[in-house]
Amino acid sequence: MKYQNKILKGSLIKRYKRFFADIKLDKKIITAYCPNTGSLLGLLNEGSEVLVAVVDNPKAKLQYRLEAIKSGQVFVGINTSLPNLIVYEAILNKKILKTLNYENLRKEVKYGKNSRIDILAEGPSKNKTYIEIKSVTLSRQKNLAEFPDAITSRGSKHLVELSNKCIEGHQSYLVYLIQRKDIKNFSIAKDIDPEYYKNSQLAKKNGVKFIAYICDVSFDGIEIIKEIKIIEH
């Protein structure tokens, strides 16, 4: 997936009130929208190199959007609005979930109890495939990515909803899109959110399929590289 906006490089000063980040661009300081409500644990070091999109919308309150933060030698994508599109395009282009049999692929479809599934695949049979996507940025150990980076009651709710669809006879996938390429394995961060871990184990027993992919995040855009192993940690 290519970025649709002009991208600039800068350095992070600070992130605050969840949705704002002060960034140094050349010799000026700007405030950018931060499209991520997570903790961004381990990424918010002052002086880190960042990628910022120029927002092409005169009605927008902020004219810049934070897209990625450099950690070590790699950029980490932090925009949580992009993974759905990245996975959707990858499915259409047969890069991932190649055996998925569908005639119609829809995004943001209502299901369960006041929930929306990220992608719904509908095939020739009555059975459907529900695909939930989680953006992953956390890496506390070398080569290991983890989710979540904060307690997520919403994430637990999604696991229950996916489980219910499996029980009803449908297929369910939970795709962890790791927006960085310096990773070899993925694990649930059960010390951060034990409830989410418990619900993930129940979901597996009920037939939910868990998949993790790493991405190359660059100045040009974000591309899925490959599937990686999910381990207990």
Same domain, 116 and 180: yes
Same domain, 68 and 96: no
Characterise 59 by phi-psi region: left (phi > 0), alpha (psi -120 to 50), beta (else): alpha
pLDDT at 3: 95
Same domain, 196 and 91: yes
Number of structural domains (the chain) is 2
pLDDT at 225: 98
Domain boundary pick from 52, 72, 92? 72
Same domain, 143 and 216: yes
In a domain, 2, yes or no: no
Same domain, 33 and 145: no
CATH code at position 134: 3.40.1350.60
Query: Nearest 5°: CA angle at 232, between 230 and 233?
Result: 115
Same domain, 64 and 103: no
CA–CA distances in Å: residue 18 to residues 33, 52, 156, 176:
9, 16, 21, 22
Tell me which residue range forms the domain holding 51.
7-72
Q: How far is CA 1 from the centre of its chain?
A: 14
In a domain, 1, yes or no: no
Same domain, 53 and 140: no
Sign, Cα dihedral of 34, 35, 39, 45: negative
Print pLDDT tens along the chain (233 aa): 999 999 999 999 999 999 999 999 998 999 999 999 999 999 999 999 999 999 988 888 999 999 999 999 999 999 999 999 999 999 999 999 999 989 999 999 999 888 999 999 998 888 899 999 999 999 999 999 999 999 999 999 999 999 999 999 999 999 999 999 999 999 999 999 999 999 999 999 999 999 999 999 999 999 999 999 999 98
Same domain, 129 and 14: no
In a domain, 78, yes or no: no
CA–CA distances in Å: residue 162 to residues 118, 121, 170, 173:
11, 14, 9, 8
pLDDT at 233: 82
Q: How far is CA 70 from the centre of its chain?
A: 16
Same domain, 178 and 108: yes
Same domain, 138 and 218: yes
In a domain, 206, yes or no: yes
- Residues in contact with 114: Cβ distance below 8 Å, sequence separation at least 6, in sequence order: none
